[in-house]
């Protein structure tokens, strides 16, 4: 069996890419939000309605974190009431094969 430290680095090291990725995407809702945005650009309320069980505060928090890390793009329009749309960036769309593999794994084992 290969030495995991050689493959992944030291997970307890803050510079470890796995650890950094999990700090951004390891929240309960992150992959659900990304999955919902694979369908395309969504307005805030549309996104909120598409994710069963999420509350407004948590959605805002997760979106801000993902926006800060260039996974989602937020566009606000000067309308009354304000319109805000979210879409995946190129970086965010690169998560699709990872989610597909997680789906396959979950389907096989759960």
Q: 66 versus 10: which is more confidently predicted? A: 66
Domain extent listing, the chain = 4-109
Is domain 4-109 in CATH 3.30.450.20, yes or no? no
Is residue 71 within 8 Å of 95, Cβ to Cβ? Answer: yes
In the three-class reduction of DSSP (H, G, I as helix; E, B as strand; rest coil), residue 60 is classed as helix
Q: Is the pLDDT of residue 3 over 70?
A: no
Q: What percent of the chain has pLDDT over 90?
A: 70
Residue 2 CA to residue 107 CA, distance in Å, equals 26
Residue 54 CA to residue 28 CA, distance in Å, equals 10
Is residue 16 within 8 Å of 9, Cβ to Cβ? Answer: yes
Q: Is the pLDDT of residue 1 over 50?
A: no
- Could you report the per-residue pLDDT of 11-35, keeping only the tens digit for each? 677 778 888 888 888 889 999 999 9
pTM for the structure as a whole? 0.83
């Amino acid at each position: 069996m290969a030495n995991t430290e050689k493959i992944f680095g030291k997970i307890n090291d803050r510079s470890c890419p796995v650890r950094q990725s999990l700090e951004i995407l390891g929240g309960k809702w992150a992959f659900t939000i990304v999955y919902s945005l694979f369908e395309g650009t969504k307005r805030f309320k549309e996104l909120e309605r598409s994710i069963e069980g999420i509350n407004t505060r948590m959605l805002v928090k997760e979106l801000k974190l993902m926006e800060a890390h260039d996974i989602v793009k937020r566009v606000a329009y000067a309308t009354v009431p304000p319109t805000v749309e979210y879409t995946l960036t190129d970086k965010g769309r690169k998560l699709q094969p990872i989610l597909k593999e997680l789906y396959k794994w979950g389907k096989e084992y759960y």
